[in-house]
Structure 1
Amino acid sequence: MKALLLDVGGVVFRSGSEMLALLGEREPAARTVAARRGPLGPEPDPDWGRMLRGEVTERGYWALRAAEVGTALGRDGWSTHEFMAELYEHAGVEIIRPAARRLVADVRAAGLRLGVLTNDLAAFHGDSPLGDLSGLGDLDVLVDGSLTGILKPDPRSYAAVIDGLGVAPGEIVFVDDMPWNVEGGRAAGLHAVQLDLRDPDAAFAEARSALGLAP
Structure 2
Amino acid sequence: MRRALLLDLGGTVFRSGSEMMGIYGEHEPAVRSVVARRGPLGPEPDELWEAMLREEITERGYWARRCDEIGAALGRDWTMQEFMATLYSLPGEPMMRPEAAALIADAQAAGVRIGALTNDLKAFHGDASMSRDPFIGQLDVLVDGSVTGILKPDPRAYALAVEAMGRPPSEIVFVDDMPWNVAGAEKAGMIALQLDLAHPERVFELVREELELDREAA
Encode CA deviations 1:6-50: one digit per residue, 9 max, x unaligned.
000100110001000111101111100010000000000000000
Deviation, structure 1 residue 184 = 0.2
- Take 1:29 and 1:130, find their aligned partners in 2: how far apart are those partners? 25
Matched with 1:31 is: 32
CA distance 1:136–1:212, change in 2 (3 Å): farther
Identity value in percent: 60
- Does residue 138 (structure 1) correspond to residue 126 (structure 2)? The answer is no
Matched with 2:18 is: 17
Matched with 2:204 is: 204
Deviation, structure 1 residue 136 = 5.5
Matched with 2:195 is: 195
Matched with 1:118 is: 118
Give the paired residue count: 214
Q: Secondary structure at the match of 1:5?
A: strand
Encode CA deviations 1:107-128: one digit per residue, 9 max, x unaligned.
1111111100000000111010
Deviation, structure 1 residue 54 = 0.5
Deviation, structure 1 residue 137 = 5.7
Q: CA RMSD in A?
A: 1.2
Preserved contact between residue 103 and residue 208 of structure 2 (Cα < 8 Å) = yes
Matched with 1:99 is: 99
Preserved contact between residue 63 and residue 79 of structure 1 (Cα < 8 Å) = no
- Take 1:143 and 1:33, find their aligned partners in 2: how far apart are those partners? 32
- Take 1:66 and 1:137, find their aligned partners in 2: how far apart are those partners? 28
Counterpart residue type for residue 110 of structure 2: A
Q: Secondary structure at the match of 1:4?
A: strand
Structure 1: segments with no counterpart, 5+ residues? none
What TM-score do the two structures reach when normalised by structure 1? 0.96
What TM-score do the two structures reach when normalised by structure 2? 0.95
- Take 1:54 and 1:164, find their aligned partners in 2: how far apart are those partners? 29
Encode CA deviations 1:131-155: one digit per residue, 9 max, x unaligned.
1343366211100001000000111
Preserved contact between residue 85 and residue 129 of structure 2 (Cα < 8 Å) = no
Encode CA deviations 1:88-116: one digit per residue, 9 max, x unaligned.
11332110001111111111111111100
Counterpart residue type for residue 28 of structure 1: P
Preserved contact between residue 153 and residue 184 of structure 1 (Cα < 8 Å) = yes
CA distance 1:86–1:10, change in 2 (3 Å): same
Matched with 1:161 is: 161
Deviation, structure 1 residue 51 = 0.4
- Take 1:136 and 1:104, find their aligned partners in 2: how far apart are those partners? 12
Preserved contact between residue 120 and residue 144 of structure 1 (Cα < 8 Å) = yes
Q: Secondary structure at the match of 1:214?
A: helix
- Take 2:133 and 2:24, find their aligned partners in 1: how far apart are those partners? 23
Q: Secondary structure at the match of 1:175?
A: strand
CA distance 1:79–1:60, change in 2 (3 Å): same
Encode CA deviations 1:62-103: one digit per residue, 9 max, x unaligned.
00000000111111x322211111111133211000111111
